[in-house]
Structure 1
């Protein structure tokens, strides 16, 4: 609670102040601390895959033979990452984004405060600008722009019930898979040398020309990177547009899970664990089969791309929901030092997401230590724990003095046209 008795959201802000990545509830002091902890796990888990964007050629994010796999530990890291990590934590982050937007709009409407939809649009526009700067300066795979674009459509669905939100999210995911399957058919049946054959080979395969170009990009200096990313900004943005339906669907799943009480910690533990077990029992075998499908196709880009971008996505989402149900069940109503530290990292999720990129840039880019292209997959994976450790250390220290993270404060202030106090 604040000094005036106003309920706080899970970010530590009043409901009218909180930006779109936050959620609220009634676990402790008006906050669902377990949900904060879940967000902390999500932002940490994203780092486990994002490290490859900085350390290895882009195709190696999806394809183990593109670069970085030279030993048994490398193959083990790739296999476990594909099944347990890749797109699971990004899906979890998008779910929590959708839940946070639903809470903000519903509370503002219930309190008769401001113009909820107009304010939401302003938040999405500012988030897009932050994501654009992030993409140009640091991260080729920035998701904030995609979240902002998909998030613009969220208010159109929030009149639905919890059940219908879940159904709408599932329908959008199915449409994404069907569209992706059509694209996969074109890629897999394309004649050699045609654009439909060359594109997946370069983006997801081990094409030597593409890998050589990736090495050049990975070792460019800061000025060269800025010029390239500025000139190619809209082309890169265009590659994100096809991901809007699946991202929006994942956000709707998050909003539905908030509405039905799972993310609020209102389910009993047995029910939450049962859901997690049921979803994992479906997702894990399919993900293992998709991994073997990649291997059966000798990791051809025309197969690796559809597997990672389309066919695995519904099962990634299932596993993300299973993770969410498990974490909420474990941490709800149970104080611990681990929960406190994870919750602090989650309350600064936007700042921690951006600072993770800065840490990786300092480790791998030429204007930092310059380790790009010099490490194996397993060594790069180990370095992902550097920003994770830092966010767990600094987040509680920051929140002991400040009300919110610096980028959370900046986002809210620009969107509202005024800046509130950041000191406690």
Structure 2
């Protein structure tokens, strides 16, 4: 197979980037899976304060925090266009069946259902609900010109930054009013409520540790509390619009040929230069300021709001670097493993939650709160090995990953072919699967 053309109805380049992104997402998710929620934001709250722990936070804050999720979200937007186009082609060729609109909205409905189950029973930091909601809104824009898609996506992301900077400034004003004794009762109540999100008490983390180390119902209680906070107070003003903006940009990147290796080497190199030589140093300065100021919650909140600006440029730089590697043909064995992981990205994303739930919850191995931030990397490495080892042989026997098969069967409302059939005599290989969601 070649990297520059689709094989059957799949693109090796898209699959490889998707596999790379789903592995990278775990680098950040592991913190919230392994210990108190707020440790994701502030390493001094949970996860250790040794140099190894702080450097683990710093490197991830610069290179992966929001960047891998951003790349994965852009790919979701790209897949929205790809699957809609192929649903239309399939309906024309077969003279019937689900069209692009029915296919998409059924997919989003079942993604929402699966995401809700995932958020409350496995991982409060679920992204599937966010994707389902954002996916409902971006679909009508899929046929717009790439330049207009980029402009709309960028405008939304800028508005998110403006909203978060305004919110950070409001928190600073509340803090100043409290300190000067001029705060009204309403302002004091607002400040006290905000503390749960920007600087929670240590007792909250201790409570999470106790519950997650308990039985199934105790872990469910702790997880549901955070999931509700995320879905009602964090994602609507921040996560949902950010996902919409990134999906629109992902649509534009796909239509312009970015994910299918149709950009010139110079264009990919330029994207890498912007990301690595401008956006990374800016993010590194923000990271240093947060660290050097003792993770002051108000300063951190303000700087993280501004830090969203360079984030998509770093995500695109990561994608560009991998796409150039795919084009070069180097490390083909690793690219094939990434691609297999990407074809099963839905299953691999859910499998990481299943594995970590068993490892960290009390009804499993009960490691919740026991591993430092640096020690959590050993778990990440082990799961990466598992994903890269199991995905390729699985797809040699089955058409889809297990959860992809469930999702597709629900969308079509009938069981889809699962076991891979031997190729017909004289063919070049096994029949390929449909594009991944």
TM-score by length of 1: 0.89
**1:152 aligns to what SS in structure 2?**
helix
- Match 1:226 to one of 220, 242, 260: 220
**2:374 aligns to what SS in structure 1?**
helix
> 1:360-402: per-residue Cα shift (whole Å, max 9, x none)?
1111111111111112110012221121110001001100100
Choose 352-361 or 232-241, whichever is displaced more.
232-241
In the alignment, the residues of structure 2 paired with residue 375 and residue 231 of structure 1 have an alpha-carbon distance, to the nearest angstrom, of 23
- Checking the alignment, whether the CA contact within 8 Å between 1:48 and 1:385 is kept in structure 2 is no
In the alignment, the residues of structure 1 paired with residue 79 and residue 106 of structure 2 have an alpha-carbon distance, to the nearest angstrom, of 15
Residue 213 (structure 1) aligns with: 207
In the alignment, the residues of structure 2 paired with residue 230 and residue 135 of structure 1 have an alpha-carbon distance, to the nearest angstrom, of 8
**1:314 aligns to what SS in structure 2?**
coil
Residue 166 (structure 2) aligns with: 182
RMSD: 2.3
- Match 1:317 to one of 293, 312, 318: 312
Is 1:278 the counterpart of 2:262 in the alignment?
Answer: no
- Match 1:327 to one of 322, 329, 348: 322
In the alignment, the residues of structure 2 paired with residue 232 and residue 208 of structure 1 have an alpha-carbon distance, to the nearest angstrom, of 15
Residue 425 (structure 2) aligns with: none
Query: Offset of 1:226 from its aligned partner?
Result: 2.9
- Checking the alignment, whether the CA contact within 8 Å between 2:149 and 2:248 is kept in structure 1 is yes
- Checking the alignment, whether the CA contact within 8 Å between 2:153 and 2:245 is kept in structure 1 is yes
In the alignment, the residues of structure 1 paired with residue 157 and residue 249 of structure 2 have an alpha-carbon distance, to the nearest angstrom, of 10
Is 1:35 the counterpart of 2:14 in the alignment?
Answer: yes
In the alignment, the residues of structure 2 paired with residue 233 and residue 171 of structure 1 have an alpha-carbon distance, to the nearest angstrom, of 28
Residues 15-414 of structure 1: pairs in structure 2 closer than 5 A: 26-109=5-88, 112-113=91-92, 114-191=98-175, 192=178, 194-205=188-199, 207-227=201-221, 229=223, 234-239=228-233, 240-242=235-237, 243-308=239-304, 310-332=305-327, 334=329, 336-414=332-410
Which structure: larger Rg? 2
In the alignment, the residues of structure 1 paired with residue 215 and residue 189 of structure 2 have an alpha-carbon distance, to the nearest angstrom, of 30
Residue 6 (structure 1) aligns with: none
Change over 3 Å in CA distance of 1:241–1:343 after alignment to 2: same
Residue 18 (structure 1) aligns with: none
Query: Offset of 1:29 from its aligned partner?
Result: 4.1
Choose 231-240 or 374-383, whichever is displaced more.
231-240
- Checking the alignment, whether the CA contact within 8 Å between 1:66 and 1:206 is kept in structure 2 is no
Change over 3 Å in CA distance of 1:320–1:292 after alignment to 2: same
Change over 3 Å in CA distance of 1:233–1:60 after alignment to 2: closer
In the alignment, the residues of structure 2 paired with residue 285 and residue 236 of structure 1 have an alpha-carbon distance, to the nearest angstrom, of 30
Query: Offset of 1:148 from its aligned partner?
Result: 0.4
**2:157 aligns to what SS in structure 1?**
helix
* Number of positions where the alignment pairs a residue of Structure 1 with one of Structure 2: 402
Query: Offset of 1:69 from its aligned partner?
Result: 2.5
**1:184 aligns to what SS in structure 2?**
helix
Residue 413 (structure 2) aligns with: 417
Q: Which runs of 5+ in 2 are unaligned?
A: 93-97, 179-186, 421-437
> 1:200-253: per-residue Cα shift (whole Å, max 9, x none)?
543343632332233233323212233555577655421322221111100111
**2:258 aligns to what SS in structure 1?**
coil
- Checking the alignment, whether the CA contact within 8 Å between 2:215 and 2:362 is kept in structure 1 is yes
Q: Which runs of 5+ in 1 are unaligned?
A: 2-9, 11-23
- Checking the alignment, whether the CA contact within 8 Å between 1:63 and 1:204 is kept in structure 2 is no
